[in-house]
Amino acid sequence: MIKLPKNEGLNIVPFIDIMLVLLAIVLSISTFIVQGKIQINLPKSESSTSLNNHEKKLLIAIDGKNIFYLDDKIVNLEQIKDAISQLDQKTIVELKSDRNAKFESFIQIIDLLKNKEHENFQIITEKNK
């Protein structure tokens, strides 16, 4: 057993250093998580309105590189087609398309909705300031 002299206490400076390093790691990781959001530059519109709050909604997004997202998860066109085929007519579909995305990608989604005869959708734009 190690005996400490009565005059000396336990040195906690190394423990504080370790805790500061762990804190720095946690803070740096949390900033990466926040930046992981899908970056979509929405087109601007004069008549943009606020979103309606519906219980059932499905979000389809297209980023600037023409990658499709279904509720913030990367998917392909077939997976979107399957999701749309399982939709209830009351479910609202929110469409977000980056201003740099190909218009053809947007039309493909509209086409899938029209084939299902699902007309309950809204196109999300940014309000002109």
Q: What is the pLDDT of residues 95-109, one digit of tens each?
A: 988 888 898 998 999
Band of residue 53 on the pLDDT scale cut at 50, 70, 90: low
Residue 15 belongs to some domain of the structure: no
Per DSSP, helices labelled H in the chain are 13-34, 77-85, 103-115
Q: What are φ and ψ of residue 65, in 5° steps?
A: -100, 15
Residue 12 belongs to some domain of the structure: no
Q: How far is CA 37 from the centre of its chain?
A: 4
Instruction: Provide the residue range defining the domain that includes 73.
Output: 44-127
Domain count, the chain: 1
89 bridge partner residues: none
Residue 93 belongs to some domain of the structure: yes
CATH no. for residue 68?
3.30.420.270
Q: For residues 109 and 77, give the distance between their C-alpha atoms in angstroms, rounded to a whole number.
A: 8
Residue 7 belongs to some domain of the structure: no
> What is this structure's pTM?
0.62
Residue 104 belongs to some domain of the structure: yes
